[in-house]
Structure formats: structure tokens, C-alpha cells
Amino acid sequence: MSDMETDLMSICGPESVKSQELLKNHTTFRIGGPAAFFVSTDSEEKLRRTVEYCKDKDVEYYVLGNGSNILVSDEGYPGVVIQLFDKFNDIRCDGEHIYARAGALLSRIANVAAKNDLAGLEAAAGIPGTLGGAMVMNAGAYGFEMKDVTDYVRVLTPEGDIKDIACEDMDFGYRHSCVTDKGYIVLGAELVLDPGREEDIRARMKELKDQRSSKQPLEYPSAGSTFKRPSGHFAGKLIMDAGLRGERIGGAQVSEKHCGFVINRGGATAADVMALIERIQDTVKKETGVLLEPEIKRLGFKS
């Protein structure tokens, strides 16, 4: 056992630290090599101390939710992956306010809201991510964005301080917030919802779920929408019109159901996915002049 593993165990507990943990087991793409160290934490203080330790030791670290918008390299990640998911997902409801920690799935939060007759998160129920990731990228669907219901976001700053940031100071935009720009780590957020009736809320959730199921390749592992929406266009249509529906490299394929998704048809590697993304970008650029920008984050790649 290395000194680093021993140190991380002393911070987070022996049961919370693993070495050479395969990250394909922690991403929705089901792709990715091992992390040198994989740490799960259940408290803000343990998270703060883990981050402080990594900085002191000049070790790379990455904070991971449920891995729904990420592609991990086949070689894995040489640093410390800090997971905020299984042990960092409390949700509490107080009147029309819901506070959730960063690791809570949006689907769980939406269900808690429905049980408490609170409307506003129906579209979020089908987004396959955690609250933390949703705040980082201002996640949205069907005209809804997280900024629409956010009161404040609780963050850990690069200096090791914990503070609450009001919604208006989060610089929310399309798939953007100030979190990445300022090096924050999302710890949780308070949402403000509207009174409603559970029956109506769940009916709307089902309606949106049915729409999503009919249009998106939910039956295959993926990282969600592969590309950001280009101004004045839809990525999926550009890809389809370029003749790339069903295009395949290795186990990675452009979904035949929705061309905006690259899916893992089975045994796909990160190299397969990246090669397919580059082919899509090159073809669409040649055909239309539009350069598609990936929405998926990459981890462990050398460049």
C-alpha cells in the first residue's frame, strides 16, 4: 500500500478509497481505464481535506458525479478521482424549497418534488445526471434550465472556503456557469419550486419521459448529447444531413434513432469514440461550414 493511499484512507476512511478502480464502472458510457485512486466522500470537510491534500502533494484530482457527461481515456486517469454520488446525495424539502447535495440525481430530486406537490422539475426528471454536474453546465431540456429554479449554489472555493452563491451571480448561460471558470466545486444547491398537484406533475413527467424514450437511444450506453447546439442549427440534423446516421468506428456508433448521440454499441473504446467524433466534425464542417463543439467532457487524455 502506498503512502498516498494510506493518507487518503486516513482522511476519508479505509472503505472509501480504492486504487486502480476502473472508471468504466462509474460512467454512463461504460468506457474508461483505471483511476490511480478513487475516493468517495460523505462530508464537506472530508472533501475539503482531500482536495487540500492533493494540492499539497501536487497530484491531479477530478470531482465526479455519476459520470453521465464524460468520456474517460482507455489509459485511465493518473490522479485522484473524488466521487460525490453514493454518499453525498441527501435531499431535504422545506415548504417550496428543496436543498440537495451535489451527488443527488436530478431524477431523485424531481421525485421528491412531486411527492411534495412541487412543480418545476418535470423536465429535469429525465436528465441522467447529478445536481452538481447540472449546476456546472446549467443543464436543461425541453426549454427548461437549472437556472430557472435555482436560489443559490453552495461551493468549495480554490482557497478552501465554503460559500453560497446567489443564482444571479452564477453567470448561468447555455451549458455554462461560473463554476469551471472560477475553479469551484459544487457542494449542493437550494431550489425554489412552485405549488402543484402530484398527479399533474407526474403526468407531465411521464409525457416528457415518453418523448425522450421515443427520440433518444436510451437503450445504449452514452454520455448524452455528444455536441453542443450550434447557433442557428441542431447538431443531430447536421449530422444526419451529412449522411452519418449509423456511422460506426469500432464499438462506437452515431445513433440511428438520434444522430446527436454517439453510443456504445458494445465494447467501444475511448479511442473509437474520439475517432468517430473527429470524423463527424470533419464531415459536417466540410458539408456545412459548421464546426461542432463537443459537449462531452474528456478525462485522462494527453491532449
Known catalytic residues are 175, 225, 295
For cell 498516498, the residue is: 4
Edge-first strand order for the sheet with 248-249 is 248-249, 252-254, 262-264
Q: Which three cell numbers stand for residue 59?
A: 497530484
Cβ neighbours for 204, distance < 8 A, ≥ 6 positions apart: 119, 122
Rounded CA-CA distance 18/301 in Å is 21
For cell 459520470, the residue is: 67
Rounded CA-CA distance 17/11 in Å is 10
User: Between β-strands 70-72 and 297-299, what pairing exists: parallel, antiparallel or unpaired?
Assistant: parallel
For cell 461551493, the residue is: 155
Name which of 103, 105, 113, 46 is nearest 80 in CA terms: 46
Q: Are 283 and 277 within 8 A, CB to CB?
A: no
